[in-house]
Structure 1
Amino acid sequence: MKNLRIDIVSIILIALLSVNTACQAQKSNVSDSDVKVEKKKKKKKKKKVRLPDIDLSHWKVTLPVTNEKGKPYEIEPPEIIDFASNEIAKPYMYIDSTRGAIVFHAMPTASKTKNTKYTRSELREQIVPGDNNANWTFKQGANMKGKLSMEQTTKGSDGKYHRTIIMQIHGRLTNEQRDLIGEDDNNAPPMLKIYWDNGKVRVKTKVLKNLNATDEEILHEDAWGDDDGFNFEQKVDFKKFTLEVQVSDGKMVIILNGNEYKVYESIHMKRWGVFENYFKAGNYFQSRDEGSFSKVRYYELEVSH
């Protein structure tokens, strides 16, 4: 009888130990699972920081705000390299680190550059940092390529999105040309304007009004008119896209997403060779509507000569 009691006690102890071990194992498994889930949550919370692939050492920027002299506020190299810490620039040119882009934000303000009613948050190429007098000709050749997207833009009363100029080739008079025609500045017409226009990419160029005009006569801004414009077939909307401008003697090629081309090769391009030029890129907003604005993202931008 005594041995029987000992056996029963042993059985009960073994059973209790088995239940306890199973409970501990279950707790251990649940704990491991919880830890894994928690780790995944933490990983999701940590967003990857991305920086835009843009070297600003050969660009200055014009912003839609005035300086102490009442003129558009500009930042030139080398200060532009540290634009992200510039308190004046922050609302109009800033880094989107989640997408790896520089955002150019423009809206109607009192800050307008000469000969325009619109404002801009736009880069201006400077071959020699800090110097506007070093530029290039079509004969010398040039190339600009960017990856960008429209982040946000308002609509007009017609229900269409407000448009903005995202790239330009701007002409410039040399000091000698300026003095020859009696101008008070070096400004010349823009040979190329590329618009984000209601979700499409639209190109506008200049054409010579009188093909028999002399080399001196074509230096005047009123010697040039606008062409009818060209719309690329692809609709980019608010998606990321690439845009490239290739310039050579008497020729200009615009390429959208590497597979759609517009080629300009004519007497107008050939005679434009009299001017110096520089690239522009960013957001030259084309509306004066109250409350209107647009934001353009640039992920990549490179220039070569």
Structure 2
Amino acid sequence: MKKFRKEILITILIVFLSVNAISQNKKSSVTESDLKTEQKHKKKKKKKVKLPKIDLSHWKVTLPVANEEGKPIEINPPEILDFASNEIAKPYMYIDSTKGAIVFHAMPTDSKTKNTKYTRSELREQMVPGDNNTNWTFADGAYMKGKLAMDATTRDSDGKYHRTIIMQIHGRLTNEQRDLIGEDDNNAPPMLKIYWDKGKIRVKTKVLKNLNATDEELLHEDAWDNDDGFNFEEEVGFRKFTLEVKVSEGKMVIVLNGNEFKVYESIHIRRWGVFENYFKAGNYFQSRDEGSFSKVRFYELEVSH
């Protein structure tokens, strides 16, 4: 009888130890799983916010939304430095912290700048913050470099992507030139327009209609015509790419991804030297189609003179 009780006690002890071991394994397993989950959460929490490498202290922005007078709203320095908190700017110029870029969003609205039917979310260089009257000439020299990408864009009725202007060199009349030719503003033609055009980069410049025009005659906008344009071979699509614009007296060079170069060095560029200029960068959308839009990401943008 005693032997039987002893066997029962031994059996109970073995069962107890087995159950306890299984329980310990389960606890250990659950703990490891919880630890892995916790580590994943910590990794997510540690994910750094990416910011664009762009100093906006020498830029103003024109937005595709109008003020009470029907003119496009502009934000100048220093207010532009806080654009991310500006409720008016938020839909059209905002930071994508996952990509580390400023997104410029444009679409057709009733807010259009003078002499155009298109709208823009676009930066305008100001060599002196808040002042449009201090600009540069080709003889002064200028350099702009941007790292950017098309974020999203719509298609037209033929299924082709809408295009947008992503960089410009815009001419400007001095006050003396403006008064000389009797204009009511300082606007002059853009010498350079760089397009994102159906996944490729297209460049357009101005050429004189009459090479013998006097210095006064070439100050008029109708003295200039558009050239035939130039397409870089590489298709950038929606990938990130770099553009450089190098300007010196009588010369303009456009560089795509450090590999392809387009050099302009002609009488047209030399005679353009009479104008002052400023850089523009962003999204000057080239469509009025209903429901159309584009978004351009700028990761980096730098200018020097």
TM-score range, shorter chain: over 0.9
1:94-129 Cα offsets, whole Å, 9 max, x none, are 111111111111111111111111111100000100
Q: Distance in 2 between matches of 1:263 and 1:33?
A: 63
Q: Could you say which residue in structure 2 is the equivalent of 1:232?
A: 232
Give the TM-score, by structure 1 length.
Answer: 0.94
Give the TM-score, by structure 2 length.
Answer: 0.94
Q: Could you say which residue in structure 2 is the equivalent of 1:27?
A: 26
Cα deviation, residue 24, structure 1: 3.6
- Matched position secondary structure for 1:123: strand
Cα deviation, residue 42, structure 1: 2.1
Which structure 1 residue ranges, 4+ long, deviate > 4 Å from structure 2?
4-7, 43-47
Please tell me whether residue 209 in structure 1 is matched to residue 209 in structure 2: yes
Corresponding residue pairs, total: 304
Q: Which moved more, 1:220-229 or 1:207-216?
A: 207-216
Q: Distance in 2 between matches of 1:226 and 1:170?
A: 14
Identity in percent: 77
Q: Could you say which residue in structure 1 is the equivalent of 2:103?
A: 103
Q: Distance in 2 between matches of 1:69 and 1:250?
A: 40
Q: Which amino acid aligns with 1:139?
A: A
Q: Could you say which residue in structure 2 is the equivalent of 1:284?
A: 284
Cα deviation, residue 8, structure 1: 3.4
* RMSD of aligned residue pairs (Cα, Å): 1.7
Cα deviation, residue 25, structure 1: 3.1
Q: Could you say which residue in structure 1 is the equivalent of 2:53?
A: 53
Q: Which moved more, 1:22-31 or 1:208-217?
A: 22-31
- Runs of 5+ consecutive residues of structure 1 not aligned to the other structure: none
Q: Distance in 2 between matches of 1:199 and 1:100?
A: 22
Q: Which amino acid aligns with 1:186?
A: N
Q: Could you say which residue in structure 2 is the equivalent of 1:38?
A: 37
Please tell me whether residue 193 in structure 1 is matched to residue 219 in structure 2: no
Q: Could you say which residue in structure 2 is the equivalent of 1:117?
A: 117
- Matched position secondary structure for 2:162: coil
Q: Which amino acid aligns with 1:205?
A: T
Q: Which amino acid aligns with 1:221?
A: E
Q: Which amino acid aligns with 2:81?
A: I
1:193-246 Cα offsets, whole Å, 9 max, x none, are 000001110000011121121211111111111111000111111111111111
1:61-96 Cα offsets, whole Å, 9 max, x none, are 001111122211000000001111111111111111
- Matched position secondary structure for 2:238: coil
Q: Distance in 1 between matches of 2:76 and 2:122?
A: 12
Q: Could you say which residue in structure 2 is the equivalent of 1:81?
A: 81
- Matched position secondary structure for 2:25: helix
Q: Distance in 1 between matches of 2:144 and 2:31?
A: 54
1:22-48 Cα offsets, whole Å, 9 max, x none, are 224312321222213322542465454
Q: Could you say which residue in structure 2 is the equivalent of 1:146?
A: 146
